[in-house]
Structure 1
């Protein structure tokens, strides 16, 4: 999965696999997590969000997507 760096105090980079609808987030304070079942529109919203951390908290973490720490 290709990761793109983002300008954020919380998130270092993000990636998305459309075939599996998996969103990958690398956090600056450690850890890479995969979130499953994330619609592409949510990923696009994250890419365009002014505050990546706020978006992740509001729409990803509170969205109830299953996740796994991969690193």
Structure 2
């Protein structure tokens, strides 16, 4: 389902890093994210709501340059 907040996301199992590109073109890498969190985000009907409840302010992140 398309999101009004998240443009794209991917997950690296080896480093437990979740990469999220927002509609605003901002790119964030969230560190030490369990794979189950990624899978739940992927399955969520509302990616933005899931992100706000389960990822934002819960994991350390690195902000990258805009896309």
Partner of 1:35: 30
Q: Distance in 2 between matches of 1:48 and 1:8?
A: 12
Q: Distance in 1 between matches of 2:22 and 2:62?
A: 13
Partner of 1:54: 49
In the alignment, structure 1 residue 69 sits paired with structure 2 residue 36? no
Partner of 2:39: 44
Unaligned runs of 5+ in 1: 1-5
Unaligned runs of 5+ in 2: none
For residue 61 of structure 1, give the secondary structure of its aligned residue in structure 2. coil
Alpha-carbon offset, residue 29 of structure 1: 1.4
Report the TM-score when normalising by structure 2. 0.91
Aligned pair count reads 65
Report the TM-score when normalising by structure 1. 0.86
